[in-house]
Structure 1
Amino acid sequence: MKCTHLRWMVAFWTLSTFNAAAQKSSEYNWEHLPKVVQPTFRKDTINILSKGAKPDGITLNTEVINNAIITCSKKGGGVVLVPKGLWLTGPIELKSNVNLHLQKAATLLFTTDKSKYALVEGSYEGKKAARNQSPISGIGLVNVAITGKGIIDGNGDVWRAVNKAQLTEGEWKEKVASGGIVRPDGKVWYPSEQFLKASTEGKSMLLTEGKKPQDFADIKDFLRPNLVVLTQCKNVLLEGITFQNSPAWCLHPLMTENLTFRNLTVKNPEYAHNGDGMDIESCKNFLIEGCALDVGDDAICIKSGKDEEGRKRGMPTENGVIRNNVVYNGHGGFVIGSEMSGGARNIFVYDCTFMGTDKGLRFKSVRGRGGIVENIYAKNIYMKDIAQEAIFFDMYYFVKFATDSPRDESPVVNEGTPIFRNMKFENIVCHGATKGIFIRGLPEMPVKNITIENATLQSEIGVELIDAAEITCKNITLYTAKTEPIVAIENSQALVFDKITLGATAKRFFTIAGHRSQNIKVLNTDFEKAQQKITWKDGATEAALVK
């Protein structure tokens, strides 16, 4: 115990010392990005139509499709072809060396008969959990793909609860008429009485010691599956397909290596609870390019397990390239966390557009997660109509603050302390947001060594930094609607503001608060558009400003 405590105290001391020579955010090379191995397949093709499948939207084709995949794999692999048509099916299990290829005008529609989905051991937000079998799944596969121009539809509406406030009056009436049950207060529709009971009673789906999936039969309807789950696979390609209407997360590769998502369309309704687009969890070497996402939760999300279980797994999501993607609705465009206990590193995001997401670049965690997120680089990110923050870090995810004591100031560092450090964002444009930049670390572990360079941010509020360290904002133009202050700093250290330009006259440029605020530099910045340069409060003094 003493050794562990000493190790973490040494780490804290190292991270707390401002040393310019140790900064790593500029040590990267966009010309040498991570490489991803692509799968290869034989040309042999099995057409499911020739095996007796029927594209009438009524016949259940589960057995025919799965047998075709098994036969193809046993013969050395190839293509299983789904021609045009509406193919009703139950869960599909992928196999090694098989490319499931959907022609244009082909739709795989998953059955609403929940009895067809077995209870299995799965994962829920980074922990082992009982789940219904995913519509598409694969475990321990090599060389596997889903390609083509078709549609894969999870029929998710029969699995999800929905709030009345999220629907129009007509949609609500239609939902109630479809069956299910409405909560006594009339505000939420549930698919069944079983779902309502499990939800309102806070039933757990986690597979704790001694529990088996079959032990959760009494809440089966509550255990919504992710649409596609690929676990411990190698050389995976998803290309060209539209994935939509998932019961929960849409695409979930887990502990998978050499993963490519290319030219996908990923859609979930705005009201879809846990309706994430892509959750890349504990994966190594991945490429996401040319995709369009319009979803009900985080769009492109990096995860690596939750709390102690994630730390024991110890598999960071690493070596990734995310480029040329467009995100429409979503809680975040590019997201890391909050289940990132195994860490994340060496991820490059560029040439992406976020149109109407809640947040743009979103990083989130909380005490107890642990994990190190580092070496994250983003450039050429273009945002419009962001509902909340364009660039967002928060180490208090889902923490509710009391008004009289907003945060725990006790500086305890241990294996559950999350660390976010060493990142650079450049060429960022945001037209419309509540806040341009928001960074809130922990008193004992600030968000550290972040560079934001060459940015134009139009937002109601400019910049807010709380418990942040070694933050550099360089060549940034801030167009703010609320002009007091443009930049708010609280208990943050080793900050550099170089060439900050205001788009309009402001009452106050900086407010600097807290006795821990120190070593702040303001360079090449014209204060003329501010009626007042700096206000000091809550223990901060002019000594914090370094000339």
Structure 2
Amino acid sequence: MKISRLVLAIILVALMLSPERCESRKAKIISTSFEYSAINCRAHSVSLTDFGGVGDGNTSNTKAFQSAINHLSQYGSEGGAQLYVPAGKWLTGSFNLTSHFTLYLDKDAVLLASQDISEWPVIEPLPSYGRGRDAAAGRFTSLIFGTNLTDVIVTGDNGTIDGQGEFWWQQFHKKKLKYTRPYLIEIMFSENIQISNLTLLDSPSWNIHPVYSSNIIVKGITIIAPVTSPNTDGINPDSCTNTKIEDCYIVSGDDCVAVKSGWDEYGIKFGWPTKQLVIRRLTCISPFSATIALGSEMSGGIQDVRAEDITAIHTESGIRIKTAVGRGGYVKDIYVQKMTMHTMKWAFWMTGNYGSHADTHYDPNALPEISNINYRDMVADNVTMAARLEGISNDPFKGICISNVTIGMAVKAKKQPWTCTDIEGVTSGVTPQPCNLLPDPGSEKITTCDFPTENLPVDNLELKKCTYSIKHA
């Protein structure tokens, strides 16, 4: 009997150590190697599956994301940490980032925004807005959220973040929301931020919202939403300094890039401008909104915006400045060059009567300053109206310069291609002939509008090549 038991034990051990057995155990572990460019590489890396993540599209991973990030926060002073999201569909509600941290999405990873409202905490309105955008009360936290952070990267191999916005759009249209809809990515009061190489789909509202932050790179982002979806702005730098937006493709139901800095008396009091912004190689499709909008919330000021190599296709307007009496603040030192527009309602639009106030307490004597606006080296075709430029009575928009611009009018274009009120400026080499308020001195004095040649600090930041190999279930 003892010999039989011994033989049985030997056979069992042999089975456990057989090549077939070892191979089946190894098959459960996947090794993935990848590389990407980033402002910083990380010393530590884990997979979401290490913290119980389930990528079946049905299981909530909100706790898994937060547990993983909370664990990785301990490595901030030890080279930072990275959370890898492997292939799969990862349902999740809102979660918070940490400093010295990278969130990396595999090319076949999809973050699915939960439609369970209990997974979206409510936070206070932004101080520079004084209220929520959709409702006067607070706002739902963004899907990916961070505040008071430094050195944060959200990137991937063109992985996808799906906001499943239809649920939110219906609630918004039915006026059933007590709080403002969440954004997909929002980072507040932070510095050294990179958001890159991702596809964002169907955001509940704005897609990317850096606010009260500095040293920001947004690069290689694709944003897709139905052109009729409400307020699905693409990228909205808001009271930010030293920001670069490059190589992005946006189809949305609102402005592709909307530059902001606070709303009426709240923005004036907060007093935090957006400045030193670069936008390059942007392609926009938005039939009911602008390629690049400055405002309407600009009460903290917008200054030194440089945009070049911009393509607009079937978009309502190319560059739009939106402001009103009561906004205060300023939009000045704006430079745009090398822009191509196809099938537009307006190539240029400036609005001094935008309205849409936060409440009734705004100061009617708070007049905005719009000055030193430069557009040059542009071509457009199939345009309904070349420009609609409407300043404010007793507060004209000054220093407008437009040079070397050719606008091809649509077959059913407006008979009057330019309308101008309360503006001052000059043009040179512009077709069709601009309005009388923008005279062209002709060959006597050929004007070339300004565009700065010196780099902003964010242009001098060199990205590092980060290489990783990670084992995960």
Normalised by the length of structure 2, the TM-score is 0.78
Asked whether the 8 Å contact 2:128–2:261 carries over to 1, the reply is no
State the Cα distance separating 1:415 from its structure 2 match: 5.4
AA in 2 matched with 1:140: N
d(CA) in 2 for partners of 1:447 and 1:276? 26
**What amino acid sits opposite 1:99 in the alignment?**
T
How far is 1:92 from its partner? Answer: 1.6
Task: Report the counterpart of residue 293 of structure 1 in structure 2.
Answer: 250
Structure 1 residue 464, shift from structure 2 partner: 1.9
One-letter amino acid matched to 2:114: T
Note if contact 1:237-1:260 (Cα within 8 Å) is conserved in structure 2.
yes
Following TM superposition, by how much is the alpha carbon of 1:267 offset from its aligned partner in structure 2, in angstroms? 1.7
Residues 105, 65 of structure 1: alpha-carbon distance in 2 compared, 3 angstrom cutoff: same
Q: Which residue of 1 aligns with 2:420?
A: 465
Q: Distance in 1 between matches of 2:317 and 2:375?
A: 15
The answer (yes or no) to whether the contact 1:476–1:499 under 8 Å persists in 2 is no
Aligned residue type for 1:433: V
Matched residues in 2 for 1:55 and 1:488: separation?
A: 59
Q: 2:140 aligns with which of 132, 143, 152?
A: 132
2:440 match: secondary structure: strand
Please give the per-residue CA displacement for 1:47-96, whole angstroms capped at 9, x wherever unaligned.
11222211111111111111111211212222100011111111121111
Instruction: Confirm or deny: 8 A CA contact 1:352 1:381 kept in the other structure.
Output: yes
Q: For 1:354-395, what per-residue CA distance to the aligned partner results, in whole angstroms no more than 9, with x for missing partners?
A: 111111111111100011111010000110011x21011110
State whether residues 448 and 468 of structure 1, in contact with CA within 8 Å, keep that contact through their aligned partners in structure 2. yes
Q: In structure 2, do the counterparts of structure 1 residues 414 and 90 end up closer, same or farther at CA, with 3 Å as the change threshold?
A: closer
Give CA-to-partner distance per residue, 1:114-166, whole Å, 9 cap, x none: 121122113399334301221111011100011012001111111113xxxxx
Matched, 1:496 2:439: yes
What residue is the counterpart of 1:150 in the other structure? 159
Aligned residues: 388
Where in structure 2 are the equivalents of 1:258-337 lying within 5 Å? 258-329=215-286, 331-337=289-295
| Structure 2 letter corresponding to 1:474 | S
Q: Is the 8 A contact 1:41 1:143 kept in 2?
A: no
C-alpha contact (below 8 Å) 2:325/2:365 kept by paired residues: no
Match of 1:476 among 430, 435, 459: 430
One-letter amino acid of the structure 2 residue matched with residue 56 of structure 1:
D
Name structure 1 gaps, 5 residues minimum: 1-37, 162-189, 200-218, 400-412, 479-485, 501-521, 525-547
> CA, structure 1 residues 453+487, in 2 after alignment: closer, same or farther (shift >3 Å)?
closer
Task: Give the greater-gyration-radius structure (CA).
Answer: 2
Contact 1:227/1:249, CA 8 A, preserved across alignment: yes
SS in structure 1 opposite 2:64?
helix
- Retained in 1: the 8 A contact 2:128–2:267? no
3-state SS in 2 of match to 1:496: coil
1:105-504 alignment, distance < 5 Å: 105-123=108-126, 126-129=129-132, 130-148=138-156, 149-161=158-170, 190=171, 196=174, 198=175, 219-220=177-178, 223-329=180-286, 331-386=289-344, 388-398=345-355, 416-459=366-409, 460-461=413-414, 462-469=417-424, 471-478=425-432, 487-489=434-436, 492=437, 495-499=438-442
- Give the Cα–Cα distance (whole angstroms) in 1 for the partners of residues 106 and 303 of structure 2: 37
In structure 2, distance between residues paired with 1:262 and 1:74: 28
Give the deviation of 1:110 after TM superposition. Answer: 1.1
Question: Which residue does the alignment assign to 2:35?
Answer: none
What residue in structure 2 maps to residue 80 of structure 1? 83
Q: Which has the higher contact order (CA 8 A, sep 6+)?
A: 2
Partner of 1:481: none
Contact persistence 1:41–1:97 (CA under 8 A): no
8 A Cα contact 1:145 1:237, kept in partner: yes
Task: Give the match for residue 56 of structure 2.
Answer: 56
Aligned to 2:10: none
Point out 4+ residue stretches in structure 1 off by more than 6 angstroms: none
| Alpha-carbon shift at residue 499 of structure 1 (Å) | 4.0
Preserved CA contact (<8 Å) 1:281 1:304: yes
Q: Give the Cα separation in 1 of the matches to 2:127 and 2:166.
A: 19
Equivalent position amino acid for 2:100 in 1? N
CA distance in 1, matches of 2:235, 2:121: 23
TM superposition shift of 1:423: 1.8
Q: How many Å separate the matches in 1 of 2:181 and 2:331?
A: 29
Post-superposition offset of 1:488: 4.4
**Equivalent residue for 2:456?**
none
**Secondary structure at the counterpart of residue 395 of structure 2:** coil
Superposed CA RMSD: 2.1
* CA distance in 2: counterparts of 1:323 and 1:435, whole angstroms: 25
Report the Cα distance in structure 2 between the residues aligned to 1:127 and 1:425, rounded to whole angstroms: 33
Return the TM-score normalized by structure 1: 0.68
Tell me how far apart the structure 2 counterparts of residues 251 and 488 of structure 1 sit (CA, whole Å): 37
The residue number in structure 2 matching 1:406 is none
> Partner of 1:160: helix, strand, or coil?
helix
Aligned equivalents of 2:315, 2:49: Cα separation in 1: 41
**Alignment gaps of 5+ in structure 2:** 1-37, 133-137, 357-362, 447-473
Contact 1:90 1:111 in 2 (8 A): yes
CA contact (8 A) 1:320 1:348 kept: yes
